[in-house]
Structure 1
Amino acid sequence: MSKTLFLITGIIIFLFASCAKQSTPTGGPRDEDPPILQESNPKNESLNIKPEQIVLTFDEYIKLENPSKGVVITPRINKDEVEFTALKNIVTIKLNQKLEDSTTYVFDFQKSVVDISEDNPAENLKLVFSTGNAIDSISLSGKILFHFPSSKVDYTNVLVGIYPVGDTTDVFTAQPYYLSQVDSTGSFIMTNIKNGQYMAYAWKDANGSLKAESKSEEYDFILDTLDLDANLENVTFNLSKADITPIRILRSATFGKNFDIVVNREPIETNIKNDNLGKEYFYTSSDSRIRIYPKSTTSDSIPFQISLKDSVGFSKDSLIWAKFPESDRKPEKLEVTANSGKNFFQKLEVELKFNKPIKSINSDSLFVSFDTASRIPITESMMFFQDSSKRDLLKIQMTIPDSLSQEIFTVKASDSTFQDIENQFNEKSLSANYRKMERKNLADEISGNILGAKPPFIVQLIDEKNELVKEQFLENSNKYSFKLLEPGTFKVRVIEDLNGNKRWDPSNFIQKKLAERVFYFYNEEQEQGLIIRSGWTLEDQNIIATPSTGLQKIPETTVDKP
């Protein structure tokens, strides 16, 4: 009797547990309908309320997908205190905090509420209410662009946020007061904003922190204050990366017979001053390390004036006293790499990169081979170091006669051709191939005008591997031209080089400086690809400058009087 009673009790418990468990139904046709909101408490656009919790009732069982990130609440509240729960067809949100007076709150659920069977998200799910007697109705809208877009622009996790003027926080220190998600076309609209003055930002929130990370995320900001006393449209942001960590020297110390200077980030400009630099002392720089090499050791401390500048414009000047003592530390091996695999027409340009300054070159074992028995010697007149104080990048330039019909030309250097400042020789021989192109197989020219901007410009031709093929600097002209090109598909990129320093300058939030504009050629299909074939000449490939960051002014139209 007791066994029977135990069995019946077990079956009843099992049935109750099965009924109580919220799970995905099995079988039947696929559910493609999104959950529909049937009721909300408070009701949408309610006035003069300060709810402690929000309850949403749907027409089917639902669940929440990462609501702490997916539900956008504006203006800013302490989201860490908010509790989200979903049970059957009801979502409950406990706020656990006081709301501000006379403020319109917006809960934009985006795709956080989905049905339990097929994860169909509720569409256009938004709840608006006010703690005062009116609903704020001002909106801000515009477009997001990227200075250096990927082949397929991805607007996922791109956000736009605004902060009231006088707020002590910004996009790097706290989430914004009002926030909007950018849609798949790069457009955004922020609604129900309170009348006031704001600072505006946009960024790609890759880590979901609702703040921008200057070291790793693309972002932009508007310099001017936005006066939001009416709807504001046509606001543009141009996103790009800009690490605003100021450059600084972390440490300096001897390294064997040499002297190392380690910085926190790679400088874009390095200037070292010493009367004997390039004579008795040489240096190399890679990533965040600068190494000074002496020709001979010394017991004296030698002064070097170091000037460093990073990509965003911060600089660091320091006087460093370096020592070059005797050392038993074994020198690093000398290594050399070449820019092999390049194609050329008539003029062969070779670059040999070394890991240490070069002391001497045995030109007798350095030559160009173009068949098994023929070679062209590389003489001293064909070679030069790009920087005589570094001597780690050797450039070789020579003209290959049209009379030579061979296609492949190989730069060769036997072992012990190069000797570095530490008296080490290259242990391996060098063999680097370059392909000669024929004139008949080349495209003639790509040319056009740059519209909507003023020079100076840096115009870049980029291949399908996203590698720079050619570059030209236009100081006083809006017309660009690239001649004698290998056939292929290219992008033409223009940098508006405002300061004429012949490089792109990113933004600097601390110094309130925007990034230099970058824009591209687009074909009739609004794609960046520009195809050119042998013998072709492409003229009038005009490039229209994209809008600058900020509010775009729409030209006023005038009507002639009769």
Structure 2
Amino acid sequence: MKKSQYIALILPMIILWSCAKQSTPTGGPRDETPPKVLAQYPENQSLNVNPKEIWIEFDEYIKLDNPNKNIIITPRLNKDEVITTALKNKVTVELNQELEPNTTYVFNFQKSIQDLSEGNPAEQLKIVFSTGPTIDSLVVTGRTNFLFPDRQTVYDDVLVGLYEANDTTDVFTAPPYYIAQVDSLGQFKLENLRSGAYLAYAWLDANNSLKAEFKTEEFAFISDTLIIDPQSEKILHFNLAKADQTAFKLTRSSTTGSSYQLVFNKGLREIEIIPDDKNQQILHKVEKDRVKLYRESPTTDSLLIQVKAKDSIQQSLDTLIWAKFEASDRRKDELNVTVASGKSFYQELKMELTFTKPVTQISFDSLFVSYDTASIFPIAPSMLYWRDSAKLDQLDILMNIPDSLSFNIFTLIASDSTFRDIEGEYNSKLIKANFRKLQREGLADEIAGTIQTDHPSLIVQLLTAKDELVKELILENENAFSFTLIEPGTYKIKVIEDDNQNGEWDPGDFSLKRQAEKVYYFQDPETNEQTIMIRGGWSINTLQINSVPNTGILKN
């Protein structure tokens, strides 16, 4: 075939292929228009209707985004029976249950309905109707707050709910009668409510169950019954925090080797071990929900011991056990020691040691602080402070270092076999931990200010930016605080209102209607940042820390 004939044959094929080839158009503005409602049933604000299903038609094809979570229905319906589907441009909600007579229902679709192409949500889409002759119009507003916020804290999953006062369920057992989702600032608005008496709750619904998990999710409750009526405006405030509400129990106890072990169903706040024979010395070690009891030598007789314990919400347990400390061939656990090393200090060097078992003997010949290749400070018994004489597992060593020494690094050294535990085991490894001495000229002078509260008992904590405790003050009947001689850096200040004056924060107890103790932080009024940056030689003494409202009814 001649070349000209070949070209004449191929050219029409190329033209046909080019004409048939399709491609996505380029350019043009992105569709940002939300779907618009063309028709719906029932109409918004309808009276005397009792629909079996609800439907909405839009001006374009649509899709659903997690309707079980994002569609808020009040009052309470059995959401397991509600079926929501999207087909082309129509959404249908099948109710599959009877509605209450003379009741206003609200279906708030939030951002659950979106256009198919770009995911633009339908705006402010809400259907309100009544099965009776009137629409309920009462409103409750307010705000939620996390007592212990972190950098990832968001309000997307925080809900506020109302239960009828005579309801036998609560926030831990069933969804509420009325429910609302808070906005990005923690604010909420419960609308179309009817007059009545209610109990109010807020919680972080991380698992989308419409109720709170009493072990793992933050929650809060209003102690008083909330009376909703047309004569007054209701504003609520909730401070959310975790608090395991499980009933506190000793689940089992048994001999383990030469020791005796107690196992509880949750972590301990405090425990007291009281032998019936006061001449017996029984030491113990706490590990979360387990407590090991130790006796220095075995015995063939069981010992009667009283166990008094409290959990995190101050639930008490008081029981008697018979413990046996038998001779055992079982290999004993090693004695391990951890030291909070790497810390800085100015004049007083504080060394914190934690042991895996109670320690009953220390060899001071091999325990000292080194500050150069040839110089040491011996550690004497007078420098030792056990945090709990019934446990002997946490030891503080305090030593004053003269300003005249020009060295910066001081090293705690404990040779192997320096510490002997109650089972006769020694530490098998050399212990070395470094501490850095700060110079006065490099320190910041002061961080100080006032706290805007009338609470008589306050705990004020200076924290690093990573929430590590640096210093702590206990204030009684005063609201001015001052932290002096501080290493330059970035800090936060936390305040705890210590209601029971026990020197630590206490969570709430739902069964006793006892609220969690309030916690709040310094916040810069201009930037809303919680952090404070300070340099050597600086003083910041005009800080003002504002209290947050109590969980409760702010306006009634």
Are the aligned partners of 1:278 and 1:388 in contact in 2 as well (CA < 8 Å)? no
Gaps of 5+ in 1: 1-23, 555-562
C-alpha spacing 1:479/1:278, structure 2 compared with 1 (3 Å): farther
Deviates more, 1:530-539 or 1:105-114: 530-539
The corresponding residue for 1:11 is: none
Deviates more, 1:206-215 or 1:451-460: 451-460
Shift of 1:509: 0.6
Q: Kindly report which structure 2 residues correspond to 1:70-81, keeping only aligned pairs within 5 A, or say none.
A: 70-81=70-81
1:547 paired residue among 541, 546, 549: 549
CA distance in 1, matches of 2:437, 2:279: 36
The corresponding residue for 2:355 is: 354
Render the CA deviation track for 1:32-59: whole Å, top value 9, x for unaligned: 2211112111111110000111110011
Are the aligned partners of 1:351 and 1:394 in contact in 2 as well (CA < 8 Å)? yes
CA distance in 2, matches of 1:119, 1:553: 40
Aligned CA-pair RMSD: 1.7
Residue 69 (str. 1) matches residue 69 (str. 2): yes
Q: What SS does the corresponding residue of 2:149 show, helix, strand or coil?
A: coil
Residue 372 (str. 1) matches residue 373 (str. 2): yes
One-letter amino acid matched to 2:263: V
The corresponding residue for 1:248 is: 249
Q: Kindly report which structure 2 residues correspond to 1:385-424, keeping only aligned pairs within 5 A, or say none.
A: 385-424=386-425
Q: What SS does the corresponding residue of 1:69 show, helix, strand or coil?
A: helix
Q: Kindly report which structure 2 residues correspond to 1:232-243, keeping only aligned pairs within 5 A, or say none.
A: 232-243=233-244
Percent of aligned pairs with the same amino acid: 53
One-letter amino acid matched to 1:141: T
CA distance in 2, matches of 1:240, 1:284: 28
CA distance in 2, matches of 1:550, 1:86: 41
CA distance in 2, matches of 1:41, 1:304: 70
Deviates more, 1:465-474 or 1:526-535: 526-535
CA distance in 2, matches of 1:277, 1:462: 42
Q: What SS does the corresponding residue of 1:502 show, helix, strand or coil?
A: coil
Residue 135 (str. 1) matches residue 128 (str. 2): no
CA distance in 2, matches of 1:538, 1:551: 36
Render the CA deviation track for 1:70-93: whole Å, top value 9, x for unaligned: 111100011111111111000011
Render the CA deviation track for 1:328-371: whole Å, top value 9, x for unaligned: 11000110000101110110000110001112111111111111
Shift of 1:153: 3.9
The corresponding residue for 1:104 is: 104
CA distance in 2, matches of 1:348, 1:48: 77
The corresponding residue for 1:452 is: 453
CA distance in 2, matches of 1:339, 1:492: 22
C-alpha spacing 1:278/1:549, structure 2 compared with 1 (3 Å): farther
CA distance in 1, matches of 2:555, 2:108: 30
Q: What SS does the corresponding residue of 1:68 show, helix, strand or coil?
A: helix
Are the aligned partners of 2:236 and 2:555 in contact in 1 as well (CA < 8 Å)? no
Render the CA deviation track for 1:227-283: whole Å, top value 9, x for unaligned: 111363431111111111122101000000110011111111111112667963211
Are the aligned partners of 1:142 and 1:235 in contact in 2 as well (CA < 8 Å)? yes
Q: What SS does the corresponding residue of 2:40 show, helix, strand or coil?
A: strand
Residue 151 (str. 1) matches residue 162 (str. 2): no
Q: What SS does the corresponding residue of 1:259 show, helix, strand or coil?
A: strand
CA distance in 2, matches of 1:418, 1:463: 33
Q: What SS does the corresponding residue of 2:170 show, helix, strand or coil?
A: coil
Q: So what's the TM-score if we normalise by structure 1?
A: 0.92
Render the CA deviation track for 1:106-135: whole Å, top value 9, x for unaligned: 001111111111211111111111001111
C-alpha spacing 1:304/1:224, structure 2 compared with 1 (3 Å): same
CA distance in 1, matches of 2:385, 2:75: 62
Are the aligned partners of 1:460 and 1:494 in contact in 2 as well (CA < 8 Å)? yes
Q: What SS does the corresponding residue of 1:324 show, helix, strand or coil?
A: coil
The corresponding residue for 1:294 is: 295
The corresponding residue for 1:4 is: none
Q: So what's the TM-score if we normalise by structure 2?
A: 0.93
Shift of 1:29: 4.5
C-alpha spacing 1:256/1:471, structure 2 compared with 1 (3 Å): same
Are the aligned partners of 2:212 and 2:219 in contact in 1 as well (CA < 8 Å)? yes
Are the aligned partners of 2:304 and 2:321 in contact in 1 as well (CA < 8 Å)? yes
One-letter amino acid matched to 2:33: D
CA distance in 2, matches of 1:543, 1:235: 22
Are the aligned partners of 1:334 and 1:424 in contact in 2 as well (CA < 8 Å)? yes
Residue 82 (str. 1) matches residue 93 (str. 2): no
Are the aligned partners of 2:269 and 2:314 in contact in 1 as well (CA < 8 Å)? no
Shift of 1:95: 0.8
Render the CA deviation track for 1:316-338: whole Å, top value 9, x for unaligned: 00111100112111000110000
Q: Kindly report which structure 2 residues correspond to 1:173-188, keeping only aligned pairs within 5 A, or say none.
A: 173-188=173-188
Q: What SS does the corresponding residue of 1:79 show, helix, strand or coil?
A: coil
Render the CA deviation track for 1:494-517: whole Å, top value 9, x for unaligned: 111111111111111101111111
Q: What SS does the corresponding residue of 1:404 show, helix, strand or coil?
A: coil
CA distance in 1, matches of 2:547, 2:437: 36
CA distance in 2, matches of 1:416, 1:306: 33
One-letter amino acid matched to 1:242: A
Shift of 1:25: 11
One-letter amino acid matched to 1:530: I
Are the aligned partners of 2:235 and 2:554 in contact in 1 as well (CA < 8 Å)? yes
CA distance in 2, matches of 1:201, 1:33: 37
Q: What SS does the corresponding residue of 1:472 show, helix, strand or coil?
A: strand
Q: Kindly report which structure 2 residues correspond to 1:456-475, keeping only aligned pairs within 5 A, or say none.
A: 456-475=457-476
Q: Kindly report which structure 2 residues correspond to 1:431-450, keeping only aligned pairs within 5 A, or say none.
A: 431-450=432-451
The corresponding residue for 1:507 is: 508
Deviates more, 1:383-392 or 1:250-259: 383-392
CA distance in 2, matches of 1:209, 1:25: 44
The corresponding residue for 2:260 is: 259
CA distance in 1, matches of 2:520, 2:147: 7
Q: Kindly report which structure 2 residues correspond to 1:189-204, keeping only aligned pairs within 5 A, or say none.
A: 189-204=189-204
CA distance in 1, matches of 2:351, 2:28: 68
The corresponding residue for 1:335 is: 336
C-alpha spacing 1:186/1:35, structure 2 compared with 1 (3 Å): same
C-alpha spacing 1:277/1:60, structure 2 compared with 1 (3 Å): farther
Q: What SS does the corresponding residue of 2:68 show, helix, strand or coil?
A: helix
The corresponding residue for 1:21 is: none
Gaps of 5+ in 2: 1-23
C-alpha spacing 1:271/1:526, structure 2 compared with 1 (3 Å): same
Are the aligned partners of 1:235 and 1:552 in contact in 2 as well (CA < 8 Å)? yes
The corresponding residue for 2:56 is: 56
One-letter amino acid matched to 2:543: Q
One-letter amino acid matched to 1:260: Q
Deviates more, 1:271-280 or 1:32-41: 271-280
Are the aligned partners of 1:246 and 1:315 in contact in 2 as well (CA < 8 Å)? no
CA distance in 2, matches of 1:175, 1:115: 30
The corresponding residue for 2:163 is: 163
CA distance in 1, matches of 2:502, 2:91: 57
CA distance in 2, matches of 1:275, 1:49: 72
CA distance in 1, matches of 2:25, 2:302: 79
The corresponding residue for 1:228 is: 228
CA distance in 1, matches of 2:272, 2:204: 35
Shift of 1:526: 2.3
Are the aligned partners of 2:144 and 2:238 in contact in 1 as well (CA < 8 Å)? yes
CA distance in 1, matches of 2:279, 2:226: 53
